[in-house]
């Protein structure tokens, strides 16, 4: 999902961007170059597509050591060294890729021509290609990107002063199967590689003129970032490198349904993004229904892990709560939510459902959302209500669209996906 932001309505909330979800016909194709390692657990979360909740590694081609887009700065330096190239050349090339957003060695104009030719012969630099770019009346821009294997993904640029935000995907599809999310209906097609995750930022930053400006990143596009842990963290390291875009982890928010072992691993990371937990329900039963991984990692365990999660000074965990009319939007739900979050440095982000074909839920009224928010605020919780962004271009959270030349309606496309 990608393409939304929050408006602070109550208390001292902060502005926070969000994203949209979109699928394409191509996204349903699995490249012959990639395969997933299902390691069990599928039935545990009730999704026919589910793979392991804890590890979801993809097989990569000979570690892609010659594809510079997949290398962290030290790996790139090592690859250069192996080929007898000087270390400073690695920094120079890394800067070209990230700071200048170039996509070919010929564009690296301060390298000698002979070196550019040698790099072209020895290495590749795979970069997502912009197939389509669409701007909403509210300024949100949605990008349809084509990956090297023909798979298509979407990423969103949410321009909000003072914080510009990129909402990016970590997987093609998702194994978690949340009942209100169209990406969940699709199942997992494949993980994105680290280079593809970081590549979305490279491409969007260059296309929007943001290479020299600070921006935020939210991992709220398609996919569950903690189900693609290693690639996601590697991508964050690539983006963090001082030789590249130097994105501070404080500017990155990782949104997860709460895969507890991965949360515990994240808690030990040197480079730790802000954490957002997709909660959506206040009882185990209801959450298991709406968010199937809850059957394996229950609410109580997730909240306990949050209580122990190391937080920097003044930082808090965001709890996202998609509001579904008549399902989880009562005053009692709000009171229960406040009780559950007691003792956690928390803020709550209410997300009125973005309806979509095939999603059997409705969006509650503004009055219901306001009442819910007020109950939380009365209990001293910071609450923000996410305002849908880019709805006219279907760039809002959870809104599936099938592009790529298809003339079918969203409902027809959904029906095809469900076959």
CA distance from start to end of the chain:
22
Strands (E), 175-239: 188-191, 216-219
Q: How far apart are CA 273 and CA 315, in angstroms?
A: 11
Site string for ligand SAH, 61-100 (x = CB under 6 A): ----------------------------------------
User: Between residues 127 and 169, which has the closer beta carbon with respect to ligand SF4?
Assistant: 169
Residue 396 binds ligand SF4, judged by CB under 6 A: no
What is the token pair recorded at 207? 């296309």
Residue 278 binds ligand SAH, judged by CB under 6 A: yes
Place of tokens 């921006």: 215
Give the pairing type, strands 216-219 and 152-159: unpaired
Residue 176 binds ligand SF4, judged by CB under 6 A: yes
Q: How far apart are CA 201 and CA 236, in angstroms?
A: 10
Site string for ligand SAH, 314-333 (x = CB under 6 A): ------x-x-----------
Q: How far apart are CA 393 and CA 231, in angstroms?
A: 29
Residue 256 binds ligand SAH, judged by CB under 6 A: yes
Q: How far apart are CA 108 and CA 110, in angstroms?
A: 6
Q: How many residues bind ligand SF4 (CB under 6 A)?
A: 11
What is the token pair recorded at 272? 């730790």
Q: Per the residue annotation, which of 154, 196, 320, 403 is the catalytic one?
A: 154
Q: At what angle do helices 229-240 and 194-207 cross, to 10 degrees?
A: 40
What residue 353 binds from ligand SAH, ligand SF4, none (CB within 5 to 8 A, per partner kind)? ligand SAH
Q: How far apart are CA 109 and CA 386, in angstroms?
A: 44
What is the token pair recorded at 118? 């040698």
Q: Which of 19, 158, 164, 178 binds ligand SF4 (CB under 6 A)?
A: 178
Residue 397 is among the residues annotated as catalytic for this protein: yes
Q: How far apart are CA 212 and CA 304, in angstroms?
A: 40
Residue 272 binds ligand SF4, judged by CB under 6 A: no
Q: Which of 93, 204, 260, 353 binds ligand SAH (CB under 6 A)?
A: 353
Smallest separation, CB 263 to ligand SAH (Å): 12
Residue 143 binds ligand SAH, judged by CB under 6 A: no
Residue 224 binds ligand SAH, judged by CB under 6 A: yes
What residue 111 binds from ligand SF4, ligand SAH, none (CB within 5 to 8 A, per partner kind)? none
Contact 188, 173 (CB under 8 A): yes
User: Between residues 158 and 178, which has the closer beta carbon with respect to ligand SF4?
Assistant: 178
Residue 224 binds ligand SF4, judged by CB under 6 A: yes
Residue 257 binds ligand SAH, judged by CB under 6 A: yes
List alpha helices for 187-228, DSSP H.
Answer: 194-207
User: Between residues 236 and 351, which has the closer beta carbon with respect to ligand SAH?
Assistant: 351
Residue 41 phi, psi dihedral angles, 5° rounding: 90, -5
DSSP state of 353: -
Interacting residues with ligand SF4 between 42 and 81 (CB under 6 A): none
Residue 320 is among the residues annotated as catalytic for this protein: no
Neighbours of 121 (CB within 10 A): 8
Residue 274 binds ligand SAH, judged by CB under 6 A: no
Smallest separation, CB 302 to ligand SAH (Å): 12
Strands (E), 50-128: none
Q: How far apart are CA 175 and CA 45, in angstroms?
A: 9
Residue 354 binds ligand SAH, judged by CB under 6 A: yes
DSSP state of 44: G
User: Between residues 136 and 241, which has the closer beta carbon with respect to ligand SAH?
Assistant: 136
The residues assigned a catalytic role are 154, 397
Residues at the site binding ligand SF4, with contacts judged by CB under 6 A: 174, 176-178, 181, 183-184, 223-224, 257, 278
Residues at the site binding ligand SAH, with contacts judged by CB under 6 A: 1, 174, 180-181, 220, 224, 255-257, 278, 320, 322, 351, 353-354, 356, 359, 397-398
């Amino acid at each position: 999902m990608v393409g939304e932001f929050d408006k602070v309505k109550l208390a001292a909330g902060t502005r926070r961007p969000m994203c949209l979800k979109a699928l394409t016909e191509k996204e349903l194709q699995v490249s012959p170059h990639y395969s997933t390692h299902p390691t069990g657990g599928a039935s545990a979360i009730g999704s026919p597509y589910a793979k392991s909740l804890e590890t979801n590694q993809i097989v990569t081609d000979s570690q892609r050591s010659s594809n510079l887009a997949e290398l962290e700065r030290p790996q790139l330096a090592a690859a250069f060294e192996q080929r007898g190239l000087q270390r400073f050349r690695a920094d120079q090339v890394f800067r070209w890729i990230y700071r200048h957003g170039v996509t070919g060695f010929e564009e690296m104009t301060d390298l000698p021509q002979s070196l550019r030719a040698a790099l072209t012969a020895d290495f590749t630099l795979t970069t997502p290609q912009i197939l389509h770019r669409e701007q909403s009346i509210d300024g949100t821009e949605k990008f349809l990107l084509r990956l090297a294997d023909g798979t298509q993904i979407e990423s969103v640029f949410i321009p909000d002063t003072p914080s510009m935000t990129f909402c990016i995907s970590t997987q093609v599809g998702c194994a978690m199967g949340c009942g209100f999310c169209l990406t969940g209906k699709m199942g997992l097609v494949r993980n994105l590689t680290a280079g593809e995750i970081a590549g979305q930022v490279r491409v969007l930053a260059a296309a929007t003129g943001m290479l020299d400006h600070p921006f935020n990143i939210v991992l709220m596009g398609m996919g569950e970032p903690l189900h693609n842990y290693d690639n996601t963290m590697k991508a964050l390291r690539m983006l963090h490198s001082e030789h590249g875009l130097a994105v501070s982890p404080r500017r990155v928010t990782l949104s997860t349904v709460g895969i507890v072992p991965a949360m515990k691993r994240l808690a030990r990371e040197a480079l730790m993004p802000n954490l957002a937990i997709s909660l959506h329900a206040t009882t185990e039963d209801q959450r298991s229904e709406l968010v199937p991984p809850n059957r394996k990692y229950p609410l109580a365990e997730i909240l306990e892990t949050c209580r122990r999660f190391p937080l920097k000074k003044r930082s808090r965990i965001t709890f996202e709560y998609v509001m579904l009319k008549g399902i989880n939007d009562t005053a009692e739900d709000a009171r229960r939510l406040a009780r559950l979050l007691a003792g956690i440095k928390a803020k709550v982000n209410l997300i009125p459902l973005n309806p979509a074909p095939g999603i059997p839920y409705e969006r509650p009224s503004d009055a219901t959302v306001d009442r819910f928010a007020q109950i939380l605020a009365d209990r001293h919780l910071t609450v923000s209500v996410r305002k849908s962004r880019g709805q006219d271009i279907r760039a809002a959270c959870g809104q599936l669209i099938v592009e790529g030349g298809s003339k079918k309606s969203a409902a027809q496309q959904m029906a095809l996906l469900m076959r």
